Amino acid sequence: MDWTSNQAIAIYIACGLAAAGAIVWLVMRKTVRTRVRTEREVRDDPDIHDWLVVFNWSRKALYVPTIAISLAAATVMFLKEMGCFFDAVTPEIIGGVWFVVFFLNFLVEEFEINVKVVLIGTLCLLALLLWLHLLGWVRPFVRMFGHITIQMSWMGYLALAVMGLATILISWIRGLFYYVVFTPNYMNIQWGLTESGDHVGREDYNTHVDTTDVLERLMGFGKIVIIFKDQKRPPLTLLVWRIGRRAGLLERVRGKFAIDMNATRPHEAPEEAAGPEE
């Protein structure tokens, strides 16, 4: 083997990066404060019974259906090239199905589609089809979409799926170091590899759960909006997966906050009443 060849240099670079990563991990493993570590610490705390740890997903996570259909299309196209699939399923049909799913995903990611928008859009579509039917143009209108063809090889579909998965993975890795912890007594906003973050008292913020986007909610996503009492600080919006479960946990945390506040009032009242007698 030539130790000065391009292949050898590439191996040297890969080994160097691996060694550097191992050294960084050994040095920083006790100081890095990840979401998983924080969640374990909060869970093991005997004084905390209700808590929630969330992070902000990238909106590209909403393209999961497109990623899934891309993987399915790559599989079908690969089988067709190997002669192991039905000839009736043409590349044009596969590309058309992929485009429809991608277009719907684009609408979900780009626009906020609530129930009102869905109803108005459905009525407008029905009115358009009725108008075309009266003119006898329904079939030509439908055939127009048949001329829109998209063809890719199985490697093209696979590349799109890999890029989408890489984007979601990067968002998840970022969420290991940028996240929010809710407990009955405080909220901690983590924004760094170590202990960097903001500690906010329970009386200094409010929360709002936003699930008005119907299609987004059908995919399991929703928004948790944190509104600070300090008007100079803009609200913090988090796109959260499994919003139904997360919203329930958040309600329990905030509900515990209300119970704690009510529990302190009976103890405060006698002290205030006893003051004038002294």
pLDDT at 236: 92
In the β-sheet with 197-201, what is the strand arrangement from edge to edge? 52-55, 178-182, 186-191, 197-201
145 and 217 in one domain?
no
Is 184 within the bounds of a domain? no
Q: Are 183 and 251 in contact (CB under 8 A)?
A: no
Q: What is the total count of domains within the chain? A: 2
Is 88 within the bounds of a domain? yes
Is 1 within the bounds of a domain? no
Q: Are 236 and 242 in contact (CB under 8 A)?
A: no
pLDDT at 121: 82
Is 9 within the bounds of a domain? no
Residues constituting the chain: 278
205 and 165 in one domain?
no
99 and 76 in one domain?
yes
- Provide, for the chain, the percentages of residues in helix, strand and coil under a 3-state DSSP scheme, each rounded to the nearest 5: 60, 15, 25
Is 79 within the bounds of a domain? yes
DSSP type of residue 219: T
The owner of tokens 């719907």 is: 104
Question: Mean pLDDT of successive 10-residue segments in the chain (278 residues)?
Answer: 71 85 73 82 85 91 92 88 73 84 85 77 86 83 72 88 93 91 89 78 89 86 91 91 91 70 48 42
Separation of first and last alpha carbons in the chain = 94
167 and 75 in one domain?
yes
pLDDT at 141: 77
3-class state of residue 208 by DSSP: strand
Is 176 within the bounds of a domain? no
pLDDT at 40: 87
pLDDT at 166: 94
76 and 46 in one domain?
no
118 and 75 in one domain?
yes
Is 87 within the bounds of a domain? yes
155 and 72 in one domain?
yes
Closest alpha carbon to 222 in 236, 243, 206, 203: 243
228 and 137 in one domain?
no
DSSP type of residue 235: P
99 and 124 in one domain?
yes
Provide the residue range defining the domain that includes 127.
60-171
pLDDT at 258: 46
pLDDT at 159: 93
88 and 50 in one domain?
no
Is 196 within the bounds of a domain? no
Q: Are 164 and 68 in contact (CB under 8 A)?
A: no
